Chain A
Amino acid sequence: MGISDVIPLPVAVDKELEKWTIWGRPLTDVWFTTTEKIHEIIEMGPIKNVLNWGRKNSLWFLMQPMGCCGVEMLVFGCPHYDCDRFGIFPRATPRQVDVMIISGYITRKYLPAIKNLWEQIPEPKWVMAIGECAISGGPFYDSYNIINDTSKFFPIDVFIPGCPPRPEKFIEGFRNLQEKIKQREDKRGY
């Protein structure tokens, strides 16, 4: 199928356009393309940097307090620490968020639930592990009910150590995530 099938163009122009390329691909491919192909092209081009700039400045995170770090997460969203000034907002449902914060111990019983929360988040999405428990099991590392290696289940971009980390560390963690997104070094490669 040529471009002249869609738009009334002289055949000579059509033949000429078929020779044109954009980033090494025939222009006709781009013209009759799917969303997937557009994404592939965006992946290659500098437009991605513009998108990532937007993404990194509106990281909405999932309010999902699970332990001591959950209390600090509440405080992180409030005055004094005020995450809003970085474009970081707490949201209550996974369907509206970009970042999931694992803020505590994952147990055998909760692991399927938190995995389902993660799967409900629309792309692009990132995940952060906050506190010793989410990183390695923390003080409960030898318990019979605790998953002591979260990174086996989630592609974690940022680890924030502390038991619990102070709210300032949350800001630092988010700044690191923003830097990673900007440099395109995040685990899922957006």
Chain B
Amino acid sequence: MTTANDVLAALQSAFPGAIEEAKVAPERQLWATVKPDRIVDVCKYLRDNHSFDHYSGAAGVDRINEGLFEVTELLASHGAHQVVALLKVKTPRDNPSVKSLTGLYWNANWYEREIWEMLGINFEGHPELYPLLLSDGLVGAWPWRKDFKGYPDYTTAERAIEMVNPEGYTDYSFPPTEAEIKAGTVPFERPEYPTFREREEMEIKGESEMILHMGPQHAVVPGPFLLDILVDGERVKKAFLDVGYIHKGIEKIMENRAYQQGIPITDRLCYMAALTNNEAYCGAVERLLGIEAPERAQYIRMILEELSRIQSHLLGTAEFLTLIASAVFSPFLYMIIDREDVLTCIESVTGARINHSFVRFGGVRNDLPDGFKDMTLDTLKMVRQKTEEYKELFLSDSIYNKRMEGVGVLSPSDARRLGVSGPPLRASDTPYDMRREDPYLLYKDMDFDVITRKEGDSRARVEVRLDEIFESCYIIEQCLDQIPDGPIMAEGLPKKIKPEPGEAYYRVEDHRGEMGFFVVSDGSDKPVKVKARGPVYAYFQALPPLLEGVYIADVVAIAGSMDACTSEVDR
């Protein structure tokens, strides 16, 4: 098996002089600073010779004291080895520019667009540097720069000016804040680009083609997003996705809060996966602090995260069933009933239904209550039995199968290229699961299967989710058997946390896929940068190519089978 040290040695011999400040810490993570003009060559070498075929994301850091921007590229492999390469590229703060990796990795597109619109770093060779999350009024303000004057902003609502746009709809404009006027940063130097509408209309070629808008309001998907499809008759020619309708600027907010205050914010990143988001953030900060949670705390975390996975998969499947047809509305209601029982188990420990804020640095907030084991075992027994029923109810239904089989097929190579993770990737015959791939907590001691399917269609994606419920039940039962007595918090942790300067990356298996937190510390009580790498971001990016050439009726089936959560995309 390739180790991080092997990769580092190979890199240093292949690119003498291009690799600076390289280190391996902790094992399986390779950190290196690469000269800006060699980054594409280095990544190409890693992709072709060391099977780094998974582009996991990119984070931009504003080092204002040094006058630098850093872009950290996260590379990993789909199962060939377990090394994560974090390659840093530095660029001066005035006129920043970095070479784009879109030529090597298709899914680098959105990550680089986001860094461009938030920090103003230009990516040479990027095919479409258009804003992704921000509305057109904020582009050019570069809100994630440390010297951005529009934060904190308590007056957005007061400043809004209502007007009517040319199409006759109500629109709003937001004049600059007082701080912005005082600093003289307005009007922004707005980059020139075609708007979303203009880009769509450029694609209309013939008279038989038209654009169909879906959204931004959706009845069942929790979160607004705009999906526009260019149709020719019944076929979709091209799909356009506009996200950012609930962009809250979580990463900017976390930079301005103390470390502990970041935990409740990570809950709201994706409310279906609050516990795993907590886990990913706390894990990253624990790595910075160099501490580890006691064994009992790790077991409690695992139990709750797996319970949370069950409820998320139940709700995800339920939403999907409502989206495709009202004929299968009953399973939706049944699944919500089961989900309530699972939530009761979680609530008995955390005290909250959705946003738990339960995982803490070096442990958990409180211990399991009396009678938790019996209650959970009863619930799991019920969940198992019910899930068997659901599989019989619709996965063996011929109408359902005719509608779902062969719809939205992702071949294994396409799924890897598009960068999706979690159930959609595993449904495409790729056993890629962070619990096995990059074992965190005590998952390496647990006995469970990574569920895969060969087909890669919508039906397989739902089936993987349902089968994972059984695996989660099995993991929880093992945990409840093995859980030792002991403390639930690491000792000697000060109330005000000030980690040593450095960076940490920690990834976990979210209910939807690979969730990673990249935290940068400069020794103060607030993080310099927190980057959340979410799985749904990758799903959404993969959606437009997946929708090309399908029937209009299948659009909802494909998009729904991905189990979307817009909040995590927008952050």
| A residues neighboring B (CB under 8 Å) | 63-68, 70-72, 74-75, 78-80, 90, 92-94, 104-105, 107-117, 119, 139-150, 152-153, 163-164, 166
Contacts and interface: CB of A to CB of B under 8 A. Distances in A.
B223 interface: yes
Contacts of B221: 65
Contact of A70 (B134, B216, B223, B264): B223
A70 B267 CA distance: 15
B57 to A, nearest CB: 21
A108 B169 CA distance: 15
Contacts of A74: 220, 222, 315, 319, 336
29 contacts: A65-B222, A66-B222, A67-B268, A68-B355, A71-B271, A72-B353, A78-B333, A79-B336, A93-B219, A104-B246, A108-B137, A110-B246, A112-B165, A112-B171, A112-B172, A115-B170, A116-B170, A140-B248, A140-B268, A142-B253, A142-B256, A143-B248, A145-B156, A146-B156, A146-B249, A149-B158, A152-B160, A163-B355, A164-B354
A170 to B, nearest CB: 12
Contacts of A152: 157-158, 160
Given A63-B220, A80-B337, A153-B157, 4 more contacts: A71-B315, A74-B315, A143-B249, A146-B249
Interface string B245-260: 1111110110010000
Interface stretch (B5-13, B146-154, B203-211): B146-154
A111 B339 CA distance: 32
B560 interface: no
A173 to B, nearest CB: 17
Nearest to A140: B248
Contacts of A70: 222-223
Given A67-B223, A109-B135, A144-B138, A75 B249 contact: no
A150 B160 CA distance: 11
B567 interface: yes
Nearest to A112: B171
A139 B571 CA distance: 13
B89 interface: no
B354 A109 contact: no
B134 A145 contact: yes
Contacts of A141: 154
A108 B336 contact: no
Contact of A68 (B165, B220, B247, B268): B268
Nearest to A151: B157
A78 B355 CA distance: 20
Contacts of B170: 112, 115-116, 119
B223 A108 contact: no
Contacts, number: 162
A144 to B, nearest CB: 5
Interface of B: 134-135, 137-138, 141, 143, 148, 150-154, 156-158, 160, 165, 169-172, 174, 216-224, 244-250, 252-253, 256, 264-265, 267-268, 271-272, 315, 319, 332-333, 336-337, 339-340, 353-355, 567
Contact of A142 (B152, B220, B222, B319): B152
Interface-central residue, A63, A110, A141, by most chain B CB under 10 Å = A110
Given A78-B336, A144-B138, A112 B157 contact: no
Contacts of A64: 217, 219, 224
A189 B152 CA distance: 37
A107 B220 contact: no
B471 to A, nearest CB: 24
A119 B169 CA distance: 10
Contact of A148 (B156, B172, B245, B268): B156
Nearest to B143: A144
B220 A110 contact: no
The 7 closest A-B pairs by CB, nearest first: A142-B152, A92-B219, A149-B157, A68-B271, A109-B135, A78-B336, A65-B222
Contact of A65 (B150, B154, B223): B223
Contacts of B220: 63, 65, 74
B268 to A, nearest CB: 6
A134 to B, nearest CB: 12
Contacts of B353: 72, 164, 166
B222 A144 contact: no
Contact of B153 (A80, A92, A144): A144
A111 B567 contact: no
Given A68-B268, A143-B153, A152-B158, A109 B248 contact: no
Contacts of A63: 219-220
A79 to B, nearest CB: 5
Contacts of A79: 333, 336-337
A54 B271 CA distance: 36
B211 to A, nearest CB: 17
A145 B219 contact: no
A114 to B, nearest CB: 8
B138 A107 contact: no
B265 A72 contact: no
Contacts of B165: 112
Contact of B224 (A66, A72, A115, A166): A66
A103 B153 CA distance: 22
Contacts of B248: 105, 107, 140, 143, 145-146
B225 to A, nearest CB: 10
Q: Which of the listed residues B156, B160, B315 has the most CB atoms from chain A within 10 Å of its own CB? A: B156
